[in-house]
């Protein structure tokens, strides 16, 4: 993408990717399969190996990724990680990006940080888009994530060929609005997860076969993506992380801080956040969010199996 106006395509756009974990690895893989030349960075190099095997080039810092890329996408963990990989004056991507270059942060992070990055990018003649996603590890694998983009609308639309390989693009407004959308998504998801595990525990105590119960409700009004993504993992006692408890606690913490800034009370969010914090207190922050069932089981001295 030599000029900011050129359309994005595998033949004229060099793409960089930072963070090849659960989500990043699948999302980046779709771009490689679509024919894009990818330069990748991951703190733990072994997690980038599958992408290197597919033809990606390894860079040794986010700065090095950016100096070889027109568009740099990031999918790291926490806001402090986003700040470090994008804004660090020595090793960060923005310092290595040429004017006209674009940063696309897909991490779930703070709206105010998205605004700060966009303003720092603009002062270098670059662009920055916040584009967090929803749909879980399976959505990333299947390329059907919901993408919530904030920032300059024409830049977001120019990026749509890249987003189309990862899922469905939704333009939400100015910088930070993608993150606000994702946070509202997490508020919805949080109480939904509490409802899912409470219903399962109730069904068990009532003597129902919980698998039949889940199948029965899945096509009714209580059916949900959370049920589809997590219901059967819970039944199989598969608590491996598709979506880490630590990351959900991070998201819900950002939501609560924003609620405080806005002066609004969301008691369901606060309850869900506390229940997930209790998983962390049990040393289960590295498990997937479906392990919320463990909190309910401990509370009631019951087990689904």
Ligand X SMILES: NC(=O)c1ccc[n+]([C@@H]2O[C@H](COP(=O)([O-])OP(=O)(O)OC[C@H]3O[C@@H](n4cnc5c(N)ncnc54)[C@H](OP(=O)(O)O)[C@@H]3O)[C@@H](O)[C@H]2O)c1
Catalytic residue positions? 182
Among 3, 5, 11, 44, binds ligand X (CB under 6 A): 44
- Least separation in angstroms between residue 187's CB and ligand X is 14
Among 16, 19, 92, 167, binds ligand X (CB under 6 A): 19
Cβ-based neighbours of 272, under 8 Å, separated by 6 or more = 190, 191, 193, 194, 252
- Least separation in angstroms between residue 152's CB and ligand X is 23
- Least separation in angstroms between residue 116's CB and ligand X is 17
When the beta carbons of 49 and 211 are compared against ligand X, the nearer one is 49
Letters for 134-173 (x = contact with ligand X by CB under 6 A, - = none) are x-xx------------------------------------
- Least separation in angstroms between residue 36's CB and ligand X is 19
When the beta carbons of 158 and 289 are compared against ligand X, the nearer one is 289
Strands 102-105, 71-74: pairing kind: parallel
Verify binding: residue 30, ligand X, rule CB under 6 A.
Answer: no
Q: Are 114 and 175 in contact (CB under 8 A)?
A: yes
Verify binding: residue 280, ligand X, rule CB under 6 A.
Answer: no
Binding segment (CB under 6 A) for ligand X, from list 15-23, 153-161, 196-204, 206-214: 15-23
Q: Using CA atoms, how far apart are residues 3 and 192, in angstroms rounded to an integer?
A: 45
Verify binding: residue 247, ligand X, rule CB under 6 A.
Answer: yes
Binding segment (CB under 6 A) for ligand X, from list 32-40, 152-160, 236-244, 267-275: 236-244
Burial of residue 259 (CB within 10 Å: 0-12, 13-18, 19+) is middle
Distances (CA, A) of 170 to 112, 157, 178, 265: 20, 10, 9, 27
Query: Helix or strand or coil: residue 257?
Result: helix
Q: How many CB atoms lie within 10 A of CB 27?
A: 27
Verify binding: residue 128, ligand X, rule CB under 6 A.
Answer: no
Torsion angle, alpha carbons of 168, 173, 178, 181, to 10:
-90
Verify binding: residue 185, ligand X, rule CB under 6 A.
Answer: no
Verify binding: residue 124, ligand X, rule CB under 6 A.
Answer: no
Query: With the C-alpha atoms ordered 155, 160, 163, 169, is the resulting torsion angle positive or negative?
Result: positive
Q: Using CA atoms, how far apart are residues 50 and 213, in angstroms rounded to an integer?
A: 39
User: Quick one: residue 43, left, alpha or beta (phi over 0 = left, psi -120 to 50 = alpha)?
Assistant: alpha
When the beta carbons of 79 and 101 are compared against ligand X, the nearer one is 79
Number of residues this chain uses to bind ligand X (CB under 6 A): 27
Among 4, 10, 37, 47, binds ligand X (CB under 6 A): 47
Contact footprint for ligand X (CB under 6 A)? 19-24, 42-44, 47, 75-77, 81, 84-85, 107-108, 133-134, 136-137, 242-244, 247, 251
């Amino acid at each position: 993408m030599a000029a900011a106006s050129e359309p994005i395509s595998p033949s004229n756009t060099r793409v960089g990717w930072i963070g090849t974990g659960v989500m990043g690895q699948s999302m980046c893989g779709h771009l490689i399969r679509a024919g894009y030349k990818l330069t990748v960075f991951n703190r733990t190099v072994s997690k980038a190996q599958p992408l290197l095997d597919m033809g990606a080039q390894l860079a040794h810092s986010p700065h090095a990724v950016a100096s070889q890329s027109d568009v740099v996408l990031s999918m790291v963990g926490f806001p402090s990680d986003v700040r470090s990989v994008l804004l660090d004056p020595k090793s960060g991507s923005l310092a290595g990006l040429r004017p006209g270059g674009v940063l696309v942060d897909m991490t779930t992070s703070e709206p105010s940080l998205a605004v700060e990055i966009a303003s720092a990018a603009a002062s270098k003649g670059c662009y920055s888009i916040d584009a967090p996603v929803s749909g879980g590890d399976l959505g990333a694998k299947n390329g059907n994530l919901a993408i919530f983009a904030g920032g300059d609308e024409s830049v977001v639309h120019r990026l749509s060929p890249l987003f189309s390989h990862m899922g469905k693009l939704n333009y939400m407004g100015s910088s930070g609005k993608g993150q606000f959308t994702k946070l509202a998504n997490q508020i919805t998801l949080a109480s939904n997860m509490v409802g899912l595990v409470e219903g399962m525990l109730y069904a068990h105590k009532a003597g129902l076969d919980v698998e039949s119960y889940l199948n029965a409700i899945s096509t009714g009004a209580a059916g949900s993506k959370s049920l589809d993504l997590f219901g059967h993992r819970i039944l199989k006692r598969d608590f491996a992380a598709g979506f880490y408890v630590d990351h959900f606690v991070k998201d819900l913490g950002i939501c609560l801080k924003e609620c405080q800034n806005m002066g609004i009370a969301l008691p369901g969010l606060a309850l869900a956040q506390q229940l997930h914090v209790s998983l962390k207190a049990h040393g289960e922050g590295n498990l997937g969010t479906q392990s919320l069932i463990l909190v309910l089981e401990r509370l009631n001295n019951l087990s689904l199996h």
